[in-house]
A and B are shown apart, each in its own frame.
Chain A
Amino acid sequence: MLQYTLRKLLHTGLVALGVVTLVFIALRASGDPAATMLPGDASVEELGALRRQLGLDRPVWLQYVQFLGAAVTGDFGTSFRHQQPALPLVLERLPATLELAGAALLLALALALPLGILAAVHRGRLIDVAAMAFAVVGQATPYFWMGIMLILIVSVELGWLPTSGRGGLERLILPAITLGTHFAASLARLTRTSMLEVFGQQFVTTARAKGLSEWSVVLAHTLKNAAVPVITLIGLQFGTLLGGAVVTETIFAWPGVGRLAVQSVFVRDYPVVQAGVFVLALTFVAINLLVDLLYGVLDPRIRRE
């Protein structure tokens, strides 16, 4: 397990490097940040001065090395709007984003696992059809629209829950549903498929032949073996979840990293955008490491690969 962990850590380091490189390419290939940051009537001298200050007049490889350096030391420059270093500003918002993403994940699991398992056990019956209909419709519904409709129905018409802000469970429920439903849809489908796949294997037939109860077969024998693809999907989709958090935070005025990053785009607060994208990207990388390690625990065969 130690060797497996070390190998995964190394792999994660490489992925992190890849992610930072991707962010660098996206930021540099799309235009001149100096021109974006200054107002339209800025003079050529001002532009040149800012370019020098940002190091944009240097060769690209040197900029890349400096970007890596900044990423390692956490120095993304100073926010124009808040007059504070950009990274602490972003990190301050990270707990809110994690709270939202975590709640959405729990909700999705609580909804999707029973649904997927029931659909697989009662394959072809009404519950299967209903669960899969939910999944197909859920996957076609955009986050933001779902959020707006929830606000309209639950908050405005019924007056049950507040519409925005953070604090207390009652403010977490709607954003978590908004973010979690889409995820629950794909998770339910995959849970169903991987359960069905394991059902077909010999040890399940053996367990049944031994006269074990159906629930014991489902929960003790099938579920654990069906868990690996499901956990993979959770890791892979956590990126989508973080992306969805950006949108959900905007709708519900949730004070997280995503909302800050989007707002910073509009006020051209470039250092904060950069730090925000970077922090969310690394969060994603860290979650994937966690998922990889969890694999090793669940399925010893993977460790030896």
Chain B
Amino acid sequence: MSDAVVLVAAVPTRRRRLPLTVVLPAIPVVLAVLLAALAPWVAPQSPTSGNLALRLKPPAWQEAGSAERLLGTDLLGRDVLSRLIWGARVSLLIALVATLIGAVVGSVIGLVAGFYRGTADTILTKLVDVQLAFPFVLLAIAVVAVAGPSVPVLIVVLAIGAWVGHARIVRGLVLSLRERDYVQAALALGAGTPRILVRHLVPEVLSTIIVLATFDVGRIIILESTLSFLGLGVQPPTPSWGSDLRDAAVYVRQAWWTSAFPGLAIMAVVLAINLLGDGLRDWLDPRTVRGDGR
């Protein structure tokens, strides 16, 4: 996602109709969100109570498989498909909440820093530079080592990973926007700072924030699953794509399906989200946004 940016010509966009580059990738994303939201009704089996008599059943299309366990069962006889659907609930919810917190906190800080500038802004810029470059997994290890692994801790850690990108980009935008004539005119007319921030600057940066946040959801789904895979995130028996893979990797020789499907789920959702981000960026045209948050 990083680069097409520079090449995008400043074509005036017609915003009335959604282009295909937004609609197509949005379909799988919406589908995943719907499945996750409706998990109690659409999941064919219970995600947590397994039937030990049916452990390690292969997917339906293999010889020993059955249509009742479409994607097979895991070591404890739990239905893989049901765990995927419930896992989507956990993984997507965590990613959305963490992104939202990160985007709001980061944007507010970026907005204020870019508008007021000064020493606080200089320190913030340095802090952001250091953290952006810092290996995120290390930060997560340090925090989880002390706070212990749990969902709230995980959300906070992921939000810490997300806010910097927003702070940096919004700050940069506001720095140039505040010099624009219409902002200077509003200032001259005696508009208060809150009014200028909310009425004149926020609408200008909103599309950038939306595009950046879209990429962030994808990035955070991967980070969440990575931390859960390492045992530093969601803890069993709660189903999440990452923590399911942690268990499944141990017996991947006996049952490939318990490892393959959660990974495919992550890949498909993240791919769709990244393409959606690309599409949104070209449509809304904020040329400064890149997928890696820099």
Q: How far is the CA of A141 from the CA of B146 in the complex (A)?
A: 29
A184-221 interface code vs B (CB 8 A; 1 in, 0 out): 00100110111011000000000000000000000000
Q: Say whether B137 contacts A247, CB under 8 Å.
A: yes
- Does B194 sit within 8 A of A, measured CB to CB? no
- Does A42 sit within 8 A of B, measured CB to CB? no
Q: Say whether B263 contacts A197, CB under 8 Å.
A: no
Interface residues on A, range: 35 or more
Q: How distant is A200 from chain B, measured CB to nearest CB, in Å? A: 10
Main secondary structure of the interface of B (DSSP, over half): helix
> Given the complex, which residues of B lie within 8 Å of A140, measured CB to CB?
218, 222, 266-267, 270-271, 274
> Given the complex, which residues of A lie within 8 Å of B3, measured CB to CB?
189-190, 192-194
Q: How far is the CA of A32 from the CA of B145 in the complex (A)?
A: 10
Which chain B residues in 229-278 approach chain A with CB under 8 Å?
A: 229-232, 242, 245, 248-249, 252-253, 256, 259-260, 262-263, 266-267, 270-271, 274-275
Q: How distant is A154 from chain B, measured CB to nearest CB, in Å? A: 12
Q: Which residues of A are interface residues toward B (Cβ below 8 A)?
A: 14-15, 18-19, 22-23, 26-33, 36, 136-137, 139-145, 148-149, 151-152, 156, 186, 189-190, 192-194, 196-197, 233, 236, 239-240, 242-244, 246-247, 250-251, 258, 261-262, 264-266, 268, 270, 273-274, 276-277, 280-281, 284, 288
> Given the complex, which residues of A lie within 8 Å of B1, measured CB to CB?
139, 189
Which chain B residues in 1-29 approach chain A with CB under 8 Å?
A: 1-7
> Given the complex, which residues of A lie within 8 Å of B275, measured CB to CB?
136
A273 and chain B: residue at smallest CB distance: B145
Q: Say whether B137 contacts A246, CB under 8 Å.
A: yes
Q: How far is the CA of A284 from the CA of B137 in the complex (A)?
A: 13
B4 and chain A: residue at smallest CB distance: A193
Q: Say whether A22 contacts B294, CB under 8 Å.
A: no
> Given the complex, which residues of A lie within 8 Å of B259, measured CB to CB?
145, 148-149, 152
- Does B76 sit within 8 A of A, measured CB to CB? no
Q: How distant is B20 from chain A, measured CB to nearest CB, in Å? A: 17
B225 and chain A: residue at smallest CB distance: A142
B272 and chain A: residue at smallest CB distance: A140
Q: Which residues of B are interface residues toward A (Cβ below 8 A)?
A: 1-7, 126-127, 129-139, 141-148, 153, 218, 222, 225-226, 229-232, 242, 245, 248-249, 252-253, 256, 259-260, 262-263, 266-267, 270-271, 274-275, 291-292, 294
Q: How distant is A107 from chain B, measured CB to nearest CB, in Å? A: 19
> Given the complex, which residues of B lie within 8 Å of A151, measured CB to CB?
252
Q: Say whether A137 contacts B271, CB under 8 Å.
A: yes
Q: How far is the CA of A250 from the CA of B231 in the complex (A)?
A: 11
Q: Say whether A288 contacts B148, CB under 8 Å.
A: no
Q: How far is the CA of A243 from the CA of B142 in the complex (A)?
A: 13
Q: Name 6 extra pairs, CB < 8 A, besides A30-B146, A142-B242.
A: A30-B147, A143-B226, A144-B242, A236-B132, A258-B137, A261-B141
> Given the complex, which residues of A lie within 8 Å of B7, measured CB to CB?
193, 196-197
Q: How far is the CA of A261 from the CA of B242 in the complex (A)?
A: 19
Q: Say whether B263 contacts A239, CB under 8 Å.
A: no
> Given the complex, which residues of B lie within 8 Å of A274, measured CB to CB?
142
Q: How far is the CA of A19 from the CA of B127 in the complex (A)?
A: 9
Identify the interface centre among B127, B130, B131, B136: most chain A CB within 10 Å of its CB: B130
Q: How far is the CA of A18 from the CA of B146 in the complex (A)?
A: 20
Q: How far is the CA of A140 from the CA of B148 in the complex (A)?
A: 28
Q: Say whether A243 contacts B266, CB under 8 Å.
A: no
**Could you say which of B225, B252, B291 contacts A152, with CB atoms under 8 Å apart?**
B252
- Between A and B, 25 residue pairs with Cβ closer than 8 Å are A15-B130, A18-B126, A22-B131, A30-B153, A32-B146, A142-B222, A142-B263, A144-B229, A144-B249, A145-B263, A148-B248, A148-B249, A148-B252, A152-B259, A192-B3, A193-B4, A236-B132, A236-B133, A246-B135, A251-B249, A261-B141, A262-B232, A265-B145, A265-B232, A273-B141
Q: How far is the CA of A196 from the CA of B7 in the complex (A)?
A: 9
The 4 A-B pairs with the shortest beta carbon distances in the complex, nearest first, are A145-B263, A193-B3, A243-B137, A243-B135
**Could you say which of B5, B229, B242, B263 contacts A149, with CB atoms under 8 Å apart?**
B263
Q: How distant is A260 from chain B, measured CB to nearest CB, in Å? A: 11
Q: How far is the CA of A250 from the CA of B229 in the complex (A)?
A: 10
Q: How far is the CA of A264 from the CA of B252 in the complex (A)?
A: 25
Q: How distant is A150 from chain B, measured CB to nearest CB, in Å? A: 11
Q: A36-B148, A148-B249 are in contact. Are A280 and B2 (CB under 8 A)?
A: no
Q: How far is the CA of A20 from the CA of B291 in the complex (A)?
A: 27
> Given the complex, which residues of B lie within 8 Å of A28, measured CB to CB?
146
Q: How far is the CA of A140 from the CA of B129 in the complex (A)?
A: 25
Q: How distant is B2 from chain A, measured CB to nearest CB, in Å? A: 6
> Given the complex, which residues of A lie within 8 Å of B136, measured CB to CB?
239-240, 243
Q: How far is the CA of A190 from the CA of B2 in the complex (A)?
A: 7
Q: Say whether B230 contacts A242, CB under 8 Å.
A: no
Q: Say whether A189 contacts B2, CB under 8 Å.
A: yes
> Given the complex, which residues of A lie within 8 Å of B271, measured CB to CB?
136-137, 140
Q: How far is the CA of A266 from the CA of B149 in the complex (A)?
A: 10
> Given the complex, which residues of B lie within 8 Å of A144, measured CB to CB?
225-226, 229-230, 242, 245, 249
Q: Say whether A280 contacts B135, CB under 8 Å.
A: yes
Q: How far is the CA of A208 from the CA of B42 in the complex (A)?
A: 61
Q: A192-B3, A239-B134 are in contact. Are A247 and B226 (CB under 8 A)?
A: yes
> Given the complex, which residues of A lie within 8 Å of B230, measured CB to CB?
144, 246-247, 250, 262
